[in-house]
Amino acid sequence: MIRRPRRLRATKAIRNLVRETKLQKEDLIYPLFIVDGENIKREIPSMEGVYHFSVDMLEDEIKELVELGIEHVLLFGVPDDNKKDCCGSEAYNDNGALQQGIRKIKEVAPEMDVICDVCMCEYTSHGHCGILTEGGYVDNDKTLEYLSKIAVSYAKAGADMVAPSDMMDGRIGALRNALDENGYETVAIMAYSAKYASAFYGPFRDAANSAPAFGDRKTYQMDPANSNEAMVEADLDIEEGADIIMVKPALSYLDIIRRFKDNYDLPIAAYNVSGEYSMLKQAVKQGLLSEDAIYEAVMSIKRAGATIIITYFAKDLAKVIDMKK
């Protein structure tokens, strides 16, 4: 007897009925870049359709996200160069652009889930993710003190969640202790547990003006060749109190997403990063791929096991998801 799996592909209704993986708007987190200044909505040259926003220009963007059904944003602060210093002090300025942005978003859309990236590379004059020793090495434990101050400042401004992306050892425990000690027990932590030293971050460094002034980040971000190390990092983050664990990038690390899904009960996030975004955008723009490739690529992240997807495609996907209903 011939087995006939095609019976369940015969019509669109049947295909919808038996579809194993469904991408939903509720799965998506949309990144936003907040800059100093006024009246700024400036497209990022290497990321078509993605913008820098000054705080006064956020309202329309947030209203659009609400109308599209996007419930979550991930914020990055991009200060002016003259505000950068060796310890990233603008990151924990309670009246900094990002902190003002949090308050503005909560004013416009109180129900919007506001997540803040916690790192120092956008804020330091040297572009590294922490405090440097005299020899130019990132001082892990000293950096934890500053990351904690940043997280508390974001929580004070109204953030619902913080997402440390620095890859310092012990950062989740340090942030959890700092938040709890300051009365922010309800602020969750989404850990960049497996953040690889990837070549796919190029456009982001343009967006965040965060390229290191010297060297690279291979002494703290993970080697792309390693898989077991990701499990070690996730184990440590969970032990220290992470509420969500993340893999970054996503498309080149679907195997790591799958390992996380198979081994942990926590929500699994994946960051569909800037290089992945720009690569697909350009392929579609040049007619090499149809726009369906975007949906297919992000679906692969969900299929691999991610329950949460951070993506610059969120607005595009929200419209497609509505059309597919």
DSSP assignments along 38-56, one per residue = SS-EEEETTEEEEEEEEGG
Buried b / exposed e across 143-162, counting CB within 10 Å, b at 16+? Answer: bbebbbbbbbbbbbbbbbbb
Report the distance separating Cα 237 and Cα 244, nearest Å. Answer: 9
Active-site option among 84, 104, 248, 281: 248
Report the distance separating Cα 210 and Cα 4, nearest Å. Answer: 54
CB 128 within 8 A of CB 205: no
The question of whether 156 is a catalytic residue gets the answer: no
Q: Side-chain half-sphere of 61: how many Cα atoms within 13 Å?
A: 26
> Which residues contact residue 235 at a Cβ distance below 8 angstroms, ignoring those fewer than 6 apart?
none
> Which residues contact residue 292 at a Cβ distance below 8 angstroms, ignoring those fewer than 6 apart?
none
Report the distance separating Cα 270 and Cα 248, nearest Å. Answer: 6
State both tokens at 17: 């009925």
Q: Side-chain half-sphere of 273: how many Cα atoms within 13 Å?
A: 24
The question of whether 195 is a catalytic residue gets the answer: yes
Active-site option among 84, 104, 195, 281: 195
CB 36 within 8 A of CB 97: yes
CA distances for 214 relative to 90, 210, 217, angstroms:
21, 11, 10
> Which residues contact residue 59 at a Cβ distance below 8 angstroms, ignoring those fewer than 6 apart?
104, 108
Instruction: Count CB-CB contacts under 10 A for residue 61.
Output: 18
Amino acid at the residue 89: S
| Active site amino acids | 195, 248
